[in-house]
Amino acid sequence: MGESLLQWFMNLLTGMPPQLVVFIVSMVPLIELRGGLVAAALLKMPLWEGVFYCLLGNILPVPFILLLITTIFGWLKKTKLFRPMVEKLESRALNKSDKIRQYEFLGLLLFVGIPLPGTGAWTGSLIAALLGIKLRKAVPAIILGLLLATCIMCIITYGIPALISGT
């Protein structure tokens, strides 16, 4: 699913500068930095440039999620139309929160940093907000998690292909 979604975005963003494509892809929930670095590699963007735009795009929504999502969810749950969707999102996020609740900083860092489906800065920020984790703990954990994910994804998207091709 992730690859087809990434391809759809790539087709949608055709004609845009590669930096903008990578930035936008990295802002999208579920795709985030992981998809942004894949897009950067496919677009033959230099590693440092891809990392810069991916981190920028992925970190931009984090403060808004941490500061506003519980308020926004509160408003949306008052409507008949959006209540089921919000409750489902909250339930999914909280189902993934056991280790974060137990270890807070380290749990959040690893949740954001290990690039698996359903993890990342968006979900990590949502969980931190729903659990009421203080900003002074959540923000550094999410940033360090993004740096860990960046290292892992750089190896996967740039390092392994370079080793295979011998360049």
pLDDT in tens, 69-80: 999 999 999 999
Query: Where are the chain's structural domains?
Result: 2-59+153-165, 61-148
Phi, psi of 131 (to 5 degrees): -85, -10
- pLDDT tens sequence across 94-128: 888 888 888 889 999 999 999 888 899 999 999 99
> Which pLDDT belongs to residue 96?
81
- pLDDT tens sequence across 141-159: 999 999 999 999 999 999 8
> Which pLDDT belongs to residue 123?
92
- As a whole number, mean pLDDT of residues 45-64 equals 97
CB < 8 Å & 24+ apart, contacts of 25-28:
25/57, 26/53, 26/54, 26/55, 26/56, 26/57, 26/58, 27/57, 27/58, 27/60, 27/61
Q: Is the pTM of this model over 0.75?
A: yes
15-24, 34-43, 128-137, 158-167: least confident range: 158-167
